[in-house]
Amino acid sequence: THFGFTNVPTSEKVKKVRDVFDSVAPKYDLMNDLMSMGVHRLWKRHAISKLNLQPGDHALDLAGGTGDLALLMQKRMTRSGRVTICDINYSMLDQGRHRLTDEGWLCGMEWVQANAEELPYPSNCFDVVTIGFGIRNVTNIPQALSEMFRVLKPGGKLMVLEFSKIAIPALRPLYDLYSFKLLPEIGHIVTKDRDSYQYLVESIRMFPDQESFKAMIEAAGFFNVRYENLSAGISAIHLGYKV
Ligand code: SAM
């Protein structure tokens, strides 16, 4: 089966993404650690350090799932800041809420089940919008980017952390071997669910490269858009501003 972006009708993609995350939610954090050998934690910390968050800021973390980025932001803003976490999937939100309650970090956080393509917020109300490893799962990416632009305050900042394209050609065969062969295997062993991890690998392949995605962010109205490769382009951080 092929679950790529272009070959699947919209409703089918929404359903597929929901099933994937329903299935992986309970083991999502563990899988992230195994698959990236813990490196996703460094990427996330680095991405949040780029935001220059201030105490009192209100951040929106889209596709916030298990709350990783939200927690990092809340810590930086101290308890005077606020983070709203949006995810389309209830299982992922529930998982995150429990985890962050256990860690004693729930105050200042708001958990909302919503689609990034139709944000339930008025225009110009957030200082920062983030989305970590979520944008590639969204069906209509240009629509989601314009929603992010709309809800940001003028002067607000967008940060997208997403898998990207390997920038060093010599490393590509190794990366292909890892992602096509090993990763679904690890997924199968840990979650008994090879299909979901197969989908994740394919969704990474289908996602635009650094420059093309930068152009999409600019097309949504953002200024001063730039990106930084992480681990040779396995992931990238894109930043942009609303003027
Ligand atoms: N941000 C977390 C992280 O970095 O670990 C979770 C990332 S997880 C790979 C992707 C998340 O995107 C899932 O929780 C999924 O439910 C969510 N998602 C997929 N499509 C979405 C949409 N249209 N709107 C909001 N969230 C969406």
**Does residue 143 contact residue 117 with C-beta atoms inside 8 Å?**
yes
| Structure confidence at residue 210 (pLDDT) | 98
Which of 88, 111, 135, 161 should be mutated for ligand 1, with most atoms under 8 A from CB? 88
Q: Is the CB of 147 under 6 A from ligand 1?
A: no
Three-state secondary structure of the chain? CCCCCCCCCHHHHHHHHHHHHHHHHHHHHHHHHHHHCCHHHHHHHHHHHCCCCCCCCEEEEECCCCCHHHHHHHHHHHHHCEEEEEECCHHHHHHHHHHHHHCCCCCCEEEEECCCCCCCCCCCCEEEEEEECCHHHCCCHHHHHHHHHHHEEEEEEEEEEEECCCCCHHHHHHHHHHHHHHHHHHHHHHHCCHHHHHHHHHHHHHCCCHHHHHHHHHHCCCEEEEEEEEHHHCEEEEEEECC
d(CA 100, CA 71): 8
- Cα of 63 to ligand 1 centre, how many Å? 3
pLDDT, residue 5, reads 38
- The finding on whether 57 has its CB within 6 A of some atom of ligand 1 is no
Q: Is 87 annotated as a binding residue?
A: yes
ipTM (interface predicted TM): 0.98
- Spatial contact of 236 and 210, defined as CB atoms under 8 Å apart: yes
Please report the pLDDT score of residue 9 as a whole number: 56
60-64, 101-105, 167-171, range with the lowest pLDDT: 101-105
At 25 the pLDDT is 80
Q: Output the pLDDT for position 36.
A: 83
For atom 4 of ligand 1, the residue with the nearest CA is 132
Predicted pLDDT of residue 115: 97
Q: Check pocket membership of 91 for ligand 1, CB cut-off 6 A.
A: no
User: Considering only CA atoms, which residue is closest to atom 6 of ligand 1?
Assistant: 65
Q: How far is the CA of 36 from the centre of ligand 1 (A)?
A: 17
Report residue 106's pLDDT band, with 50, 70 and 90 as the boundaries: low
Q: Which residue has the tokens 């929603």?
A: 147
Q: Are strands 58-62 and 82-87 parallel, antiparallel or unpaired?
A: parallel
Compute the distance between CA of residue 142 and CA of residue 217 in angstroms, rounded to an integer. Answer: 8
Mean per-residue pLDDT of the chain: 90
* Residue 116 annotated as binding site: yes
Q: Positive or negative, the Cα torsion across 233, 20, 115, 99?
A: negative
Which atom of ligand 1 is the closest one to the Cα of 161? 4
25 known ligand binder? no
**Is residue 8 pLDDT above 60, yes or no?**
no
pLDDT of residue 163: 94
Quick one: what percent of the chain has pLDDT higher than 70? Answer: 95
Q: Is 32 annotated as a binding residue?
A: no
Domains and CATH numbers, the chain: 10-241 (3.40.50.150)
pLDDT given at position 136: 95
Instruction: Establish whether residue 85 lines the binding site of ligand 1, counting it when its CB lies within 6 angstroms of any ligand atom.
Output: no
Lowest mean pLDDT among 43-57, 140-154, 187-201: 187-201
The angle subtended at Cα 3 by Cα 190 and Cα 229, nearest 5°, is: 75
What is the Å distance from ligand 1's center to 135 Cα?
Answer: 7
pLDDT score, position 141: 97
